[in-house]
Structure formats: C-alpha cells, structure tokens
C-alpha cells in the first residue's frame, strides 16, 4: 500500500473527533458534569492530533530527494510525539476542571439522556480506534498507532466518566464525579509517556526490536559453516522503513564474484525475513586484520 493512501485513516479520525465533540458537548450541557466537560475537552485534543497526523502522513509520503536521501518517513515520529504531548495536555485540562469541581461540587441534571449521548460518542471512538490500531500495526505507521491509542484512552476516559456520573446519580455523592475525572487523568498520562518514549527512540535511530535483530543474525549465522564471518551489524527503523548494515568477511582466496554472489544472497534473505528493509553490506577479506577494526561495535560476531 502506498503511504499516501494512509491519509484516509487520518480523515476518519478527524470525522470521529468532530462527531464526538458535538455529542460530548451536548452530554455536558444536559448534565452539567465536569467529567463530561473534561471528556469533551479531550476530544478537542483528539481533533488537533488528527489534523497534525494528516499533515505528517502527507510529509512522510513524499519520495526521497536530494536533501532527504532516505525519504521523509521520520515525520511520523514527530506526529506521534505531538500526539503524546496533546494527551498530556488533555490530562492537565481534565485535572484542572476536576479540582475546581472537587472544591465546588455541583448537582447533575438529566443524567440518563446525558449518559446515552456520551455512550454513543464513546462507541464511535472505540470502533475508529480499533481501525487505526489495526492499520498502524499492518502498515508499520506509528502515526496511526498513536492516533488509535489516543482514541482508546478517550474511550477509557469516557467509561470512567460515565461510571462516575451514574454513581453520582445513584449515591448523591457529588464529589465522586471530579474524583473519577482525576483518576482518569492520571491513567492516560501513562499512554502519553509511552508514545513520547517511542517517538524519541525513533528520532534517535534506536536499533530494531530484539526479535527483529535476532532474525537478521539467524540469517547471517547460517553462512558461518562456509567459513564466512560478519561484524558491525547495525539496525535502525524510520516508521515503516527498516535499515540493516553489516560487514561480511569471506576467505581471501575467494573471487570477487563468489563473495559478491554470497553477499547478494544474504541481503535477499534478510529482505525476506524483514520485508521492505534496506540492506547495506560491505565485503571484506577474512585474513586482513584491518577488516576487524570495528568488529567490537554493535553486535560484533567474529
């Protein structure tokens, strides 16, 4: 799938955010619940995040050029980072409104219809979140994954808020509404921290996950029986793009053609186990001590 076509998921997220903002605002106006107000405020953050995601997906879809030889896929990490910051902003907004209402509790009105409207908004978010999370995993898009996680935190926020509103109606304890809103705010902070950490790792060229590095090593280890060694294995990921580089050491008695053929075979096998990977390899003579100069760096095997 072309990366540009992923923009349709951002448009879906924008549509869902607009719909839920309207529904949650109606629910707040009906009930007067600070929890539902904070829930509506988070949907405003969702809308801002979806617009940013759309822009970054457009940037990430641009082809490589003279100034960006490796493409623009890292733009997705900026999107997920901004998404994480926006989730933190939403948590602060929720906490601020909740603390105010904690010291000045207010009675709730029309709780039944307000809950129905809020449930409708949460249902929309739940299904859109599932679509985004599935697409993010399928197409290795951290932008879509971040959007899906953001919407899913909104769902959990809404569940907590709806439960609080219902509990207030049943027990009459008005402070329960802001207390639950505060607990929800604390919970969604963890999602934001996770997104920020992953975004930072991508921007800092962190290595591929351990399981993906392991399959690369398995491919290269398969050639050791032929008297071949390797070292300086380095990996990184930029959104859906994976990059692998290594030095392959072959006996000096081999012809260049034989060594090159083996190198091509190894590169092709790595691309099979890591579809879409860009593999860069350097051929060196096994007997030359200079070949081992950087053997101690990053997963050396010699």
Place of tokens 């951002």: 10
Mark whether 107 and 223 lie in a shared domain.
no
Q: Whats the size of the chain, residue-wise?
A: 302
Q: Is the pLDDT score of 136 beyond 70? A: yes
Q: Apex CA 168: angle with CA 149 and CA 35, to 5°?
A: 35
Q: How far apart are CA 53 and CA 5, in angstroms?
A: 13
Residue 298 lies in a domain: no
- Split into its structural domains, the chain has a count of 2
Mark whether 39 and 186 lie in a shared domain.
yes
Mark whether 235 and 151 lie in a shared domain.
no
Of 281, 243, 286, whose CA–CA distance to 263 is shortest?
281
Place of tokens 């100069």: 293
Specify the CATH number for the domain of residue 231. 3.30.70.1350
Contact by Cβ (8 Å): 276, 240: yes
Domain range spanning residue 169?
3-203
Contact by Cβ (8 Å): 46, 154: yes
Give per-residue pLDDT as tens, 21-52. Answer: 888 888 888 887 766 776 777 777 778 777 77
Global model pTM greater than 0.85: no
Q: Is 235 helix (H, G, I), strand (E, B) or coil?
A: strand
Q: Which residue has the higher pLDDT, 155 or 72?
A: 155
Residue 96 lies in a domain: yes
Q: At what angle do helices 142-171 and 34-60 cross, to 10 degrees?
A: 170
Place of tokens 């933190």: 88
Q: Is the pLDDT score of 273 beyond 60? A: yes
Q: How far apart are CA 169 and CA 159, in angstroms?
A: 15
Give per-residue pLDDT as tens, 187-238. Answer: 778 777 877 877 777 666 667 778 888 989 999 998 888 888 888 888 887 6
Q: Is 298 left (phi over 0), alpha (psi -120 to 50) or beta?
A: left
Place of tokens 């096998």: 269
Q: Is 251 left (phi over 0), alpha (psi -120 to 50) or beta?
A: beta
Mark whether 93 and 190 lie in a shared domain.
yes
Last residue of a domain, one of 203, 237, 252: 203
Residue 157 lies in a domain: yes
Of 54, 68, 48, whose CA–CA distance to 238 is shortest?
68
């Amino acid at each position: 799938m072309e990366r540009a076509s992923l923009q349709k998921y951002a448009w879906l997220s924008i549509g869902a955010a607009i719909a839920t903002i309207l529904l949650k605002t109606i629910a707040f106006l009906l009930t007067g619940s600070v929890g539902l107000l904070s829930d509506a405020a988070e949907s405003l953050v969702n809308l801002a995040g979806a617009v940013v995601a759309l822009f970054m997906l457009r940037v990430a879809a641009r082809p490589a050029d003279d100034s960006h030889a490796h493409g623009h896929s890292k733009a997705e990490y900026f999107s997920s980072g901004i998404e994480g910051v926006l989730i933190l902003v939403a948590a602060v907004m929720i906490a601020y409104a909740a603390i105010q209402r904690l010291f000045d509790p207010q009675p709730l009105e029309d709780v039944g219809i307000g809950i129905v409207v809020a449930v409708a908004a949460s249902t929309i978010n739940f299904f859109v979140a599932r679509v985004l999370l599935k697409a993010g995993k399928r197409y290795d898009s951290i932008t879509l994954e971040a959007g899906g996680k953001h919407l899913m935190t909104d769902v959990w926020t809404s569940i907590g808020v709806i439960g609080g509103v219902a509990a207030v109606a049943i027990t009459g304890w008005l402070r329960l509404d802001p207390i639950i809103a505060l607990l929800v705010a604390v919970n969604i902070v963890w999602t934001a921290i996770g997104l920020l950490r992953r975004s930072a790792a991508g921007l800092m060229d962190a290595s591929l996950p351990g399981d993906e590095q392991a399959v690369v090593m398995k491919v290269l280890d398969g050639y050791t029986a032929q008297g071949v060694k390797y070292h300086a294995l380095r990996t990184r990921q930029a959104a859906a793009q994976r990059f692998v580089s290594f030095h392959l050491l072959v006996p000096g008695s081999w012809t260049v053609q034989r060594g090159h053929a083996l190198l091509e075979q190894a590169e092709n096998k790595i691309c099979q186990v890591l579809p879409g990977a860009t593999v860069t390899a350097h051929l060196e003579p096994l007997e030359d001590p200079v070949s081992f100069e950087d053997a101690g760096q990053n997963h050396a095997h010699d």
